[in-house]
Amino acid sequence: MRDDPTPITTTEELARFCAPLATVDYVTVDTEFMRETTYWPKVCLIQIAGPDEARVIDPLAEGLSLEPLLELLRNKAVLKVFHAARQDLEIFYKLMGEVPAPLFDSQVAAMVCGFGDQVSYEQLVSKLAGAQVDKSSRFTDWARRPLTEKQVRYALGDVTYLRKIYEKLNAKLVKTGRADWLREEMALLADPETYETPPDNAWRRLKPRTAKGEYLAVLQAAAAWREVEARHRDIPRQRIVRDETLMEIASHPPKSADDLERMRGLSKGFAEGKMGQGLLAAISAKLASPKDTWPVLEREPDLPRGIGPLVELLKVLLKLKCDDHDVAQKLLANSSDLDRIAADDNANVPAMQGWRREMFGEDALRLKRGEIALAVQGMRIKLVDLKK
């Protein structure tokens, strides 16, 4: 294999590297980025490997166009393999205006193959590639130049080991007939809406605990205003207004600059300046809007009294099914799903759809109907069919 640690810094060299990759079955991809001082992630290094060659690309190099790489990522004939792909895909979505496809996320594939919840790249390297990752460069400032050869080789390891990881996980998926399971999971990653957060929905990430209409309306307006400002200025949300300040604003809606100045974390200059006036205007406009346009907090349904023991039985069933089928529990169902299934046979949760329903959902309903039971045999739990 030709794994060259020399960064690609020109468009011509990038085009020469990417051209033969258009004919391979897959490429492995990773990025190094910084986000401490910006709203949008600043990509500092891109690593790409085909089956026989790996390089790093320096997107900070003067005059470099990433278009040859983006053309490769648009190529539907080449599988793009990532590990824990969400943030990398967000970067490419912003660069390309679309999500690279088709996709293979080794972290999700490992969960499907029974390696546990959110297995780390280092664990997969050890178990599947038989190697150890040198972590000494993990906290590198990837925006600094020049990069050392040690730093570049560390970055290359994120795609070179991934080749072997992909090949072994893919072989296991095919052998076990679970390739379709992974494709279902990849559909969410490939959906552009995964990487689009409308400003009016920004309030949801704050996880408010009260459902009062005015509180939610003000919180929505303030959070949306902050989101737009952070994007426009390309600085982190918290540097505009902190989360806890937004909560205080929602609890005590300000009507003037004096009111704003009294809020924790806001200065007189902010309150009287352009940003403060913009925030006040956003809040005022929202409160003046029809109440049927105000956001509503979707609450978890109240569980029937006495349902707790049934939920505990479903937890045991879930654990049993995951152990039997060698699948990570987090991929199959969470606690909220179990609560909903216990309360409603037609619960609209992933565990009652597709392959999850086949593996777990149907038996969960049978357990509820008293058609099967859980019993202890030796040191193991087993299912007993009560209809026989």
On whether both 39 and 177 belong to a single domain, the answer is yes
What integer pLDDT is reported at residue 222 of this predicted model? 97
Is 215 a member of any domain? yes
Contact yes or no for 83/105 (Cβ under 8 A): yes
Are 168 and 284 members of one domain? Answer: no
* Whether residue 192 has a cis bond before it, omega within 30° of 0: no
Residue ranges with strand state E in the chain: 2-3, 26-34, 42-49, 53-57, 79-82, 103-105, 372-377, 380-385
Render pLDDT for 207-220 as a digit per residue (tens, 0 to 9).
898 889 999 999 99
How high is the pLDDT of residue 140? 83
Query: 184 and 119, same structural domain?
Result: yes
Phi-psi region of 91 (alpha: psi -120 to 50; beta: other; left: phi over 0): alpha
Does residue 81 have a pLDDT over 70? yes
CATH code, domain with 7: 3.30.420.10
- Residue 1: pLDDT band with limits 50, 70, 90: low
Do the domain assignments include residue 167?
yes
Element (H, E) at 216: helix 213-233
Residue 301 lies in a domain: no
Structural domain includes residue 162: yes
Measure the N-to-C terminal CA separation of the chain; round to a whole number of Å: 59
Per-residue pLDDT at 4 exceeds 70: yes
Residue 135, classified by CB atoms within 10 Å of its CB into exposed (0-12), middle (13-18) or buried (19+), is exposed
Among candidates 98, 115, 97, which has minimal Cα distance to 106?
115
Q: Is 237 among the domain residues?
A: yes
Last residue of a domain, one of 133, 167, 194: 194
- Residue found under tokens 């088709």: 102
Angle formed by the axes of helices 308-325 and 335-343, nearest 10°: 120
- On average, the pLDDT of the chain sits at 93
Alpha carbon distance 266, 272 (integer Å) = 10
Point out the domain boundary residue: 150, 179, 194: 194
Confidence (pLDDT) at 101: 93
Whether residues 214 and 183 share a domain: the answer is no
Count up the domains in the chain and report the number. 3
For residues 164 and 129, is the Cβ–Cβ distance under 8 A?
A: yes
**What distance in Å separates the CA atoms of residue 244 and residue 238, rounded to the nearest whole number?**
10
Same domain, 248 and 375: no
Last residue in a domain, options 163, 178, 194: 194
CATH of the domain at 379: 1.10.150
Residues 155, 226 within the same domain: no
Q: What is the pLDDT of residue 2?
A: 76
Assess whether 266 and 140 both reside in one domain. Answer: no
Is residue 15 in some structural domain?
A: yes
Residue 283 lies in a domain: yes
Res. 234 pLDDT band, cuts 50 70 90:
very high
Does residue 302 lie within any of the structural domains? Answer: no
Residue 383 neighbours by CB under 8 Å, 6+ apart: 317, 320, 363, 372, 373, 374, 375
- On whether both 34 and 78 belong to a single domain, the answer is yes
The C-alpha torsion from 105 through 107 and 109 to 113, rounded to 10°, is 170
- How many other CB atoms are found less than 10 A from the CB of residue 91? 19
Domain CATH code at residue 235: 1.10.150.80
pLDDT band at 239 (very low <50, low <70, confident <90, very high): very high
Q: Are 225 and 278 in contact (CB under 8 A)?
A: yes
Please give the distance of CA 212 from its chain centroid, rounded to a whole number: 30
Same domain, 177 and 208: no
Are 43 and 59 in contact by the 8 Å Cβ rule? The answer is yes
Q: How far apart are CA 254 and CA 282, in angstroms?
A: 11
Q: Which pLDDT score, from 0 to 100, does residue 9 have?
A: 97
Per-residue pLDDT of 326-353, as tens digits, reads: 999 989 999 999 999 999 999 999 999 9
- Which residues are within 8 A (CB) of 241 and not within 5 positions of it... i.e. 6 or more apart? 222, 226, 249, 265, 266, 279
Residue identified by tokens 């040198």 is 134
Give the structural domain span for 90: 2-194
Same domain? For 144 and 41 the reply is yes
What is the predicted pLDDT for the residue at 333? 93
Residues 182 and 224 in one domain: no
Both structure tokens of 5: 């640690």
Residues 266 and 335 in one domain: no
